[in-house]
Amino acid sequence: MKVLVVLSRFPLPTDKGDKLRAWHHILGLAEEHQVFLFCLTNEKIQADDLEKVKAVCADVCVVRQSLPGIVIRMLFNVFGKLPFQVTYFTSRYSVSRLKKYTQQVKPDVLYCQLVRMAAHCKNLEVAHKVIDYQDAFSKGLERRLQHESFFKRLMIQMELKRLRAYETEVFDQFEKRFIISEQDAGLIDHPARKEMIILPNGVDVDFYKPEPAAKTIDLLFTGNMQYEPNVNCVSYLVKEVFPLLKEDFPHIQLVAAGKNPSSELSRLHSRNLQLTGWVKDLRKYYQQARLFVAPMQIGIGMQNKILEAMSMGMPVITSSLANNAIGAKHGKEIWIADTPAKVAEAISYLLNNTELAIRLGQNARELMLSRYSWAEQNKALNRFLEPADAIASENVQNK
């Protein structure tokens, strides 16, 4: 079967959640089908990354976007109706290029990642079209409102209204819709949201696996340090949690490992915080840290950082908000703490109870192996991607 994958970004390097999910889906689809990739980019693509993708896909079509074109579209859209993230990625040229590429490939199935690319796929003549919503992005915007400045709140409110309507509008343009969790599915404002297919993120359990190492880091947090939910979480730890640990752990250190630390994080100037910047291989940090702390206060979907830490056999402290999509058991596979006092209490308790922390990490690893490997998720993806008529035909033949 020919599968045309449509992305808003080139999938490598996997330094963003959508790119990580897209790349592993491409790898999984390529095991059973011919994969044709159409994607946009406004960044330079490294030759090694391009070759790696071409080695997996039957063909790759990359459309470059110009910054002036993006700016012009965004300005005109102030008086428009589309979400700004849709306008950002959608040009007449890119829509036309995808139409011609689709006519050339003649795919059996079109797989569109994220609603921001739905406008590209709207009028394409493909028998079977599916969309991966990934997360309920509108809810993520809503959760950011109380944490932003007045001007940013005005912009987010405008985008929130448009995006919420657009998530509903594109629903019926596709035969099947994937989403990362039941929690996120329930946040899509469409009467048929219960029909959405739950397709969680996975983790590379062979890459992220426990390795013995000296524990030289107290607390670890990882992720893109420009991403607002990550910035918010690190600020929350430094400003609201660390003061509660000052008496018992005056020299406690949090390493926030990830690219492009925001100016807000750089301005914290905390002796308890170390910002690493870009890290090629995060495993050495996972190996050296005693605890992984990610008590996310905003955001949606499934946190890849938590899956990776759990796969590495680390004890993880997080919030109910972040664990809802994972479904790990408090006190057995993860530790849930929803207030600064509870987070501080959890850090103190697990640092002082090494055996419990080790057991928590071991159980976390077992959960990743049994439910969250990319291999398992891609088996489900390939099964769900089969057109409904093909599945019906197969069931008749098997009777």
What's the whole-number average pLDDT of the chain?
A: 93
Per cent of the chain over pLDDT 70 is: 97
Taking the domain 217-372, which CATH number applies?
3.40.50.2000
2-202+375-398 CATH: 3.40.50.2000
Q: Tens digits of per-residue pLDDT, 7-26?
A: 999 999 998 889 999 999 99
Which helix H or strand E contains 280, and what residues bound it? none
Backbone angles phi, psi at 391, to 5 degrees: -65, -40
Residue type, 4: L
**pLDDT at residue 193, rounded to an integer:** 96
Q: Is the pLDDT of residue 394 over 50?
A: no
Structure tokens at 201: 């993120």
Q: Tens digit of pLDDT for each residue in 248-274?
A: 999 999 999 999 899 999 999 899 999
| pLDDT, position 143 | 84
| Secondary structure, 3-state, 338-383 | CCHHHHHHHHHHHHHCHHHHHHHHHHHHHHHHHHCEHHHHHHHHHH
Write down the domain spans for the chain. Answer: 2-202+375-398, 217-372
Residues 308-358 pLDDT 10s: 999 999 999 999 999 999 999 999 999 999 999 999 999 999 999 999 999
What pLDDT score was predicted for residue 388?
61
- C-alpha separations of 223 from 56, 64, 114 in Å: 26, 26, 20
Classify strands 316-318 and 34-41 as parallel, antiparallel or unpaired: unpaired
